[in-house]
Structure 1
Amino acid sequence: MKKIIEVVGAILENPNGEIFCAMRPKDKSFPGMWEFPGGKIELEEDPKRALEREIKEELNIDIRVDKLFDEVQKEYEEFIIKLSCYNCTVLDFSEFRLVEHQEFKWMKKSELKTLNWVPTDIPTVDKLTF
């Protein structure tokens, strides 16, 4: 049986209605592809707390995790990813910096499909752009 890896992703929307998109680093899986920022849930960690922690680690910003937007399960050759994406509110963007990603963009929902997304994120992109 394949290992299930539980991950969380943040849907960050700015006052202009644009969504934060992050490009994966060259030295990780799916290099150069776009994703919603987030990461793995640690053992016995609450998903919302995991997302707050991951966003602080990756972007150095504080967020409030609001409601669950989408859940996707995607099977790969060696494992299964279970992704839970949450709508989030940025509480403090003043110390923002990219720690793990190589690039970021704020994009209108109508433009999201122009990016090359990680396969696990595509169903959520589709739901956002519907």
Structure 2
Amino acid sequence: MSQLCPDVPGRPTGPVDVLLVAAVIMIDIDGRILLARRPEGKSMAGLWEFPGGKVEKGETPERALIRELNEELNIDVTEACLAPFVFASHTYEDFHLMMPMFLCRRWDGILTPREGQTLKWVKIQDLGTYPMPPADAPLLAMIRDFL
């Protein structure tokens, strides 16, 4: 006898727009993780998130991250330095987010916020003290367990 898992309350059962966003867990030499605070005027302003951005048509998640990290943080990352880690799948009110997450320990350049965001290096045990978007928060336990 098998049992089906019940539907998640509040999740749409019909068609929904899916947004593909790639994100990275950047780890410095001291084992801290980079968080970026979303600037005023953007959706979810004030929340802390992992760097990354939308995957454009024709891009792979890795290529999107390389582009986004250069545009947003003024650093260069090669595809070889992006290790696939985990993904998030979360339904927001207007869309569904699919977010592959990568790990990165090596990059070239000095981190410079270019889009009004605040950057902070955070110890792993302190990650849970920063308010995050709903899609990011469930990943914290996996990050702590892995690192």
What SS does the aligned partner of 1:90 have?
A: coil
Match in the other structure for 1:66:
82
Deviation, 1:25, is 1.0
Q: Deviations over 1:7-49 (max 9, x none)?
A: 0001110000000010001111110000001000001211101
Q: Measure the CA separation in 2 of the matches of 1:120 and 1:11.
A: 14
Match in the other structure for 2:36:
22
Match in the other structure for 1:117:
132
| Regions of 4+ moved over 4 Å | none
Does 1:88 pair with 2:124?
Answer: no
Identity of aligned residues (%): 36
Question: Where do 5+ consecutive residues of structure 2 fail to align?
Answer: 1-14
TM-score between the two structures when normalised by the length of structure 1: 0.93
- Cα RMSD (Å): 1.2
Q: Report how many residues are paired.
A: 129
Which is higher, the Rg of structure 1 or of structure 2? 2
Deviation, 1:129, is 1.9
Q: 2:115 aligns with which of 78, 100, 117?
A: 100
**Which has more strand, going by share of residues?**
1
Match in the other structure for 2:26:
12
Moved more, 15-24 or 57-66: 57-66
Match in the other structure for 2:50:
36
TM-score between the two structures when normalised by the length of structure 2: 0.83
Question: Where do 5+ consecutive residues of structure 1 fail to align?
Answer: none
